[in-house]
A and B are shown apart, each in its own frame.
Chain A
Amino acid sequence: MTPEMILTMIVLVFVIVLFIFEWVRVDVVGIMMMVMLPLIGIVSPGDAFVGLSSNAVCSIIAVIIIGAGLDKTGVMNQVAGPIIKLAGRSEKKIITLISGTVGIISSMMQNIGAAALFLPAAERIAKRMEVPVSRILMPMGFCAIIGGTITLVGASPTILLNDLMILGGEKLEPFGLFTQTPIGICLLSSAIIYFIVFGKLILPGAEGEADKGVTAALMEEYRALGTVFELRVPDDFKGPKTLQELGVRQKFLVTVVGISDAVRREKNFVPRSIDEIVAGDDIAVVGREKNVRKLVEEYGWKIKDGLEVFVESLSRTSAGMAETIVSPRSELIGKTMSEVNFKELYGVNPVALFKGNRIYYSGLTHIRMQMGDTLLLQGPWERFHILKNHPQPRALSFATPLEGEILRPRKAKLAIIWLAVALLQITVFKVQLSVALMSGALGMIITGVLSIDEAYRAVDWMTVFLLAGLIPLGIAFEKTGTAAFIAHGVLELIGTPSPIVLLAVVGVMTSFFTLVVSNVGATVLLVPLCMNMAVMAGGDPRMAALVVGISASNTFVLPTHQVNALIMRPGGYRTVDYAKAGAGMTVIFLAVELAVLYFFYGVQ
């Protein structure tokens, strides 16, 4: 063993300790590697920063920008909609649907692409269903990685396999596209079952207050406000009657926040007192349950079990509440809301007014406002963003953070076209992943799907530096000969066991290497070694190569795989969360892989 090998192993232990204890954040550990490895002298200064320009990191940057473009134009809402409809309110169904879809997509394209494109949709779904995002992202990420094992072109290690299978100067019979499919499908199914059965035990839950959202926090603050209900006006309702005539607010303290017109098939999200209710309308109201029940009994309406017509438009990602303060020099000072035509002017619904020490829930439109009065408003997030960014007339300051964003649905087609252009280059013209994806991202920026500043903001620098920092560590592991030294040592130690035991050792060793070295690096190193060992043990060298190629995707215990690094921040995960959920997954992966090889591929 050379001094360089000893230093490399010490650095490896150092990295694992820092990953586990998190004395500094994982991406800072990545930057440390870029600086320390050339200083120690185990990689050249040129190799230290090679990670930043690597295919993997550039692809991640590009695919995050493409995902942000699709999200910004509302395409992700369209993807999320059908999944939510299919899944209903069941967390397990959501996990199955998202993870299954991502896994299958990932079998045909790079794992990171499938995961990054689905990330915004998964986040939206989690928000809308009020499920902690941490419960969805890790199953999705793991399944994206496992999906890569379904076909030969799903992940880089298996793409390389056929070229690496040379024994004694002769090329072995190459694998077909679907040779490994039974293993991949069993792995994907077992991963989904694992998360459905043990999900709540192994995945971190809600991250406290911040996860509930501003609206839920405000609803709790203003207890008398109640919650959102959807009502149905039956066909025998004697109307039309205006909200003023019905006295919805004055008599029942209930605020109408949406009317879905049965005749014109239009939705009005800023209903005024002169707006009419007719038979067949659907109405969204905010109020206490007992008050809403009184209203419904009085007019013979019906309360629905949950939001139906308004499920999309009043979901947490589309609409919500904001607390605003009447600012100094505001044109509202000394005036009532009806005098300034508040609803027409601002396009949002006032639901409560905090004045002095009192909270008013009704008669808001006739109260004279003063500087410092706090107005609780409800409306589409888009409208709030417009009010905040273009304060014309200058009247209100926002006291609570806004969720949602201004979408650009008119650019949706362009966004899809650029995604298609990128995918076409990868699948048909075999252009390098980073170049193809970056051209798609660039196309989106040039055609105004998102601005260059929005693109920069979308990129998660934590992911970039974590991965870019681990690449030189992988290089050190290979160039100093540490990886080969360990592999030879292990294989010498086990002697010549039966083929299935050898494959089990190969699987465990590849799983360890792929956590530290890149999956491609692990494959290139281990395939020739393990094929020779298989021949010595009297087994099939092709099966040994296949086990290396597939086990190179068994990387769940640390956030070192691109997909795991990508979901780390959005999911609010810590390294221990990967260790907790990943340990079980790693064992299941190996067990299922070997069982399928034993039963279906004739390995004894």
Chain B
Amino acid sequence: MDAQFFFGLALIVCVFLLCFWFKKENKGKD
């Protein structure tokens, strides 16, 4: 497990949380 792996994992988690956080605003704009 190298630094790239943990960076990738962190990135996925961040994007996931970002999507979850902004889901209501995005739905309003659809």
Binding site for B on A (CB under 8 A): 3, 6-7, 10-11, 14, 17-18, 21, 23-25, 32, 36, 39-42
Contact = CB atoms under 8 A, between A and B. Distances in A.
A18 B12 contact: no
Given A14-B15, A42-B8, 16 more contacts: A3-B4, A7-B9, A7-B12, A10-B12, A11-B12, A14-B12, A14-B16, A23-B19, A23-B22, A23-B23, A24-B22, A24-B26, A36-B11, A39-B8, A41-B4, A41-B8
A25 B20 CA distance: 12
Contacts of A32: 15
B19 A10 contact: no
B19 to A, nearest CB: 4
Given A10-B9, A40-B8, A40-B11, A24 B1 contact: no
11 contacts: A3-B5, A6-B5, A14-B12, A17-B16, A23-B26, A24-B19, A24-B26, A32-B15, A40-B4, A40-B11, A41-B7
Contacts of A11: 12
B3 to A, nearest CB: 10
Q: Which 8 A-B pairs have the closest CB atoms?
A: A40-B8, A23-B23, A3-B5, A23-B19, A7-B8, A41-B4, A24-B19, A3-B1
Interface of B: 1-2, 4-5, 7-9, 11-12, 15-16, 19-20, 22-23, 26, 30
A243 B19 CA distance: 64
Question: Among the interface residues A18, A23, A25, A36, which one has the most CB atoms of the partner chain B within 10 A?
Answer: A23
A16 B13 CA distance: 14
A39 B4 CA distance: 9
Contacts, number: 44
B19 A18 contact: yes
A7 to B, nearest CB: 5
Nearest to B26: A24
A14 B1 CA distance: 20
A14 B26 CA distance: 18
Contacts of B15: 14, 32, 36
A3 B12 CA distance: 14
Contact of B20 (A6, A23, A41): A23
A14 B20 CA distance: 12
Contacts of B16: 14, 17
Contacts of A36: 11-12, 15
A25 B8 contact: no
Nearest to A10: B12
Contacts of A39: 8, 11
A100 to B, nearest CB: 34
A466 to B, nearest CB: 15
A7 B19 contact: no
Contacts of B9: 7, 10
Contacts of A40: 4, 7-8, 11-12
A389 to B, nearest CB: 30
A591 B13 CA distance: 39
